[in-house]
A and B are shown apart, each in its own frame.
Chain A
Amino acid sequence: MELLSNLALGFGVALTPANIAYCFAGALLGTLIGILPGLGPVATVAMLLPVTYALEPTSALIMLAGIYYGAQYGGSTTAILVNLPGEASSVVTCLDGYQMARQGRAGQALTVAAIGSLVAGCFGTLMLAASATALASVALSFGAAEYFSLMLLGLIAAVVLASGSVVKAIAMIVTGVLLGIVGTDINSGVERYTFGIFELSDGVDFVVVAMGVFGLTEVLKNLERVSSRDLVTTEITSLRLDREDVRRAAPAIARGTLLGSVLGILPGGGALLSSFAAYTLEKRVSRRPQEFGKGAIEGVAAPESANNAAAQSSFVPMLTLGVPANATTALLMGAMMIHNVQPGPKVMDSNPELFWGLIASMWIGNVILVILNLPLIGIWVKMLKIPYRVLYPAIVVFVTVGVFSIQNSTFLIYVMLFFAVFGYVLSKLNFEAAPLLLGFVLGPLLESNFRRAMLISAGDATAFLTRPVSAALLLTALFLLVLLVSPSFRRRREEAFQGE
């Protein structure tokens, strides 16, 4: 079989001692920057790029890719332990992961995140290996109309994401959409809500908002409680998952992996979206939606699997189409070009050892990550014992450095501070931050794709219905909407959230 011989070639390349070492170095570094909030893979890969000039292209790429998926992995640790998304994609993991930690189940949360990531990483890689070219055509079948319908579906599904009142959830989504509008309108060149501040003309960065409303808000909230540290450290039992945990987490990991693998293929927001989507789906299919947001293990398993699967599958458009899916893969593409490897439709034929070596290394990297992290979980959990007066100043420093590194500019630090206060006010008023962030991500995509689709169809709105993929997505959205307003569902939802 061709796939097997290709994989054999790949493992032959990836299993040389040098490449295993680079893979390990990348995965370790990735885990570290993943754990440090704000400091993301983009800045790290950019900094390391010159170092890789001297390396073999395959080794360079193996290491840089390790940083990328290692970061997705490490991001969950901070999310679970201190309610701070270490990476943009681990925002959703905060919701239930942190609650689990407060119930003394941090070990279980970290374990399930590790196992979910491993399963997802391995499956995502297998998919990449087996059908990269076929998957690329999926990415190409998405035009502006399809993206619009997908984003609309996402926004409607977001209402399900919230655990409290529907009205508050909608308010938060709309606020998020409005915040997403800040910046220059590309159709007219008009600046919106920038108040003449040129730093805002490109809009607000997602990471900055996330660090503000999740990370610093959490610090502010805890300043109120004098020495309530014991709240979190209620004796950490074992790291082992019991049978009930496994029974609940396994299907969530499977669904998260599938969803992440598919959404990760779509360039532009697909990977970030996948963790939100996986969480929403879990909550929708769960028989205990009321437990979400209060430490449901599925709420950690699904998004963590999804973001890792998406990290792998976001290599599909880069490797097969030559179109990077996000900033990090754009940098990886640059790294390949510096080494005279042209990523794109021909890379599989022109550089098979690089293509298959990279894919095989992702497998090895995922195993390395688990081996690296499972024994470390015990140590991470001890972090919870660090007194707040030491931990919080450290967090503030890390977050500030991380946010600065996004654009090498101090302006973003002030923006983050604004969102920290904003997030604090929201939490006082019992508004949730997750729908806000989802609206923030989806809103601009929704608008730009809608306007583009209308320009392409010359103002004919039926374009959204005549394209089959788009029509199917819209029908699903309509179905969700009907479900949301139908009396029986509302009753069920209210029952589920009794006692809020």
Chain B
Amino acid sequence: MHKSQFSKAGLAGLAGLALALAAWGAPAAAQDWRPTGPVTLIVPSSPGGGHDSNARALAQVMEKYAGKPIVVVNQPGGGGVVAYNEMMNAAPNGQTIGQVSTSLVTDNYRLESIKYDETTYRYIGQIAADPNLLVVAAKGPYGKMDLKQFIEAAKAKPNSVLMGVSGNWGNQDYNRHQIEKVSGAKFRRIPIKGGREILLGILSGDLSAGLLYPSEVKAQIDAGELKVLAHNGDASLDGMPDVKSFKEQGYDVNLSVWRALVLPKGTPDTIANGWQEILRQTMADPAVKTAYRSVSIGYAYADAKATQALIEQSRDQLRVISEEVGLIKR
């Protein structure tokens, strides 16, 4: 390769890039704040789970609108408590953002002496709503039933249906309680550490049923090894149009997990507005839906104000359940 040719091409490219950047950057720079360096996105879980793949799918697209690289930092310590504290104490300069979920609300019911709750942060917006799926083994005793028959079977013989739940009052336990309350069925609660162990338990025949995220069970459903009886969301599921919600089947059960992006409380308005705009643009990009679909994350977006309202509503709902199951002593 001739050196002069190479550098000419390089220069032309650089010049073009600079022009493009100037044209794109000029109006934006006038009003909107944008990150000045690489952004840290704190995720309260270890690499590889639903929380994590959500963050990575989003970050991939959001970099385009933030204009700077977004680095996902996993802080699984203390079941997310470490990450929530870190988000709370980060410098409010917009270079550190955090991803929070329903556990932000429920942590207050199951843990003592934590210093955060849903009012500790400044919201950027909602990024996802992930429903749980009620699944049974297709070849198992409940594999031929629909939701109604399944619940009737559980009512006919209380404690005979072995329901795997992620331990320590996670979303699945709340959900199990909801189903029991509206239907009068009684499941035998089998606490297990995580979703993949529950999945394995159902496949191996140890468990009768479980409430799991679509990303955890999509493959087994497609292969015909698991049967979905219902999902606990509102909208129909992207990629699983046949699956009906509990509500559509006559049971008032509704408890999908929401995820949102947050900033530390003291973040100035200009920075908060900048991030809200970045997220709005990101969530409007069809690339997000594509990225979410590939990892089976449920797409949902709400702006900062609507997110605040959503989370307050979620807090009230979860408080009632927490009282009912005895986590909060009245």
Contact = CB atoms under 8 A, between A and B. Distances in A.
Q: Are A and B physically bound partners?
A: yes
A448 interface: yes
B295 A267 contact: no
A115 B171 CA distance: 48
Interface in A39-56: 42-43, 45-46, 49-50, 53
Nearest to A190: B168
B95 to A, nearest CB: 16
B134 interface: no
A397 interface: no
Contact of B46 (A327, A347, A455): A327
Contact of A407 (B52, B77, B291): B77
Interface string B196-224: 11011101111100000001001110110
A345 B223 contact: yes
A330 B48 contact: yes
B56 A143 contact: no
B82 A324 contact: no
A487 interface: no
A289 interface: no
A452 B56 contact: no
A343 B48 CA distance: 14
Given A267-B196, A323-B200, A331-B48, A345 B219 contact: yes
B276 interface: no
Interface stretch (B12-20, B106-114, B247-255): B106-114
Given A42-B47, A50-B56, A342 B193 contact: no
A142 B204 contact: yes
Q: Dominant SS at the A interface?
A: helix
Contact of A409 (B72, B82, B225, B296): B82
A436 B258 CA distance: 41
A271 to B, nearest CB: 15
A343 B296 CA distance: 13
Contacts of A49: 47, 56
Nearest to B160: A458
Given A46-B74, A143-B205, A198-B111, A452 B219 contact: no
A383 interface: no
A493 interface: no
A318 B296 CA distance: 17
A327 B47 contact: yes
Interface string A303-317: 000000000000001
A140 B204 contact: yes
A184 interface: yes
A141 B204 contact: yes
Size category, A interface = 35 or more
A408 B47 CA distance: 12
B203 to A, nearest CB: 6
Contacts of B110: 189
B82 A337 contact: no
Contact of B79 (A140, A196, A201, A268): A201
B78 interface: yes
Q: Which of B166, B167, B296 has the most CB of A within 10 A?
A: B167
Interface string B18-41: 000000000000000000000000
A396 interface: no
Given A199-B78, A331-B47, A448-B193, A337 B206 contact: no
A320 to B, nearest CB: 10
Contacts of B192: 186, 448, 452
A45 B47 contact: yes
A456 B190 contact: yes
Interface string A444-468: 0000100010011010000000000
A268 B197 contact: yes
Given A45-B47, A334-B53, 9 more contacts: A46-B47, A50-B59, A189-B168, A322-B220, A338-B57, A344-B223, A408-B75, A409-B82, A456-B162
